[in-house]
Amino acid sequence: MPLFGAHFSVAGGLHHAADTAKRFKGPAFQLFTKNAAQWAVPPLTDEQVRLFKTAVADAGVTSVTAHDSYLINLAAPGDELFAKSVDAFVVELERIDRLRE
């Protein structure tokens, strides 16, 4: 079964993406670390990070990457949207870094 186009849902927790990768026997996957259509982002809890790392290890996944929010525009012409985009991008980088520590 090809992985292209497979939906790696994180509904109910980020660790579910790794469960899907395991089901498809995929060595890698990409996920949204938060709702991709909202600026607001709750911090990752220690439990979410623990569950994610355990699921990734259990799935035998060797590579995970994050897809940033659809709202981020690092080429935005307006100062306000550009600043908001940079801030949101930094948060995305911090979140995926925490998940891969």
Which pLDDT tens digit goes with each residue over 54-97? 999 999 988 888 888 899 999 999 999 999 999 999 999 999 99
- Of all residues in the chain, the percent with pLDDT exceeding 90 is 48
pLDDT of residue 9: 61
- Supply angle C-alpha 63, 4, 101, rounded to 5: 15
Per-residue pLDDT band for 8 (boundaries 50, 70, 90) equals: low
State yes or no: pLDDT of 6 exceeds 60: no
d(CA 36, CA 39): 8
Token reading at 37: 């259509």
Torsion over CA: 25, 55, 69, 34 (sign):
positive
pLDDT of residue 7: 53
CB 61 within 8 A of CB 27: yes
Give the helix/strand (H/E) hosting 30: strand 28-31
Rg (CA), the chain: 14
**Burial per residue of 22-57, b for 16 or more beta-carbon CB atoms within 10 angstroms, e otherwise:** beeebeebebbbbeeeeeeeeebeeebbebbbebbe
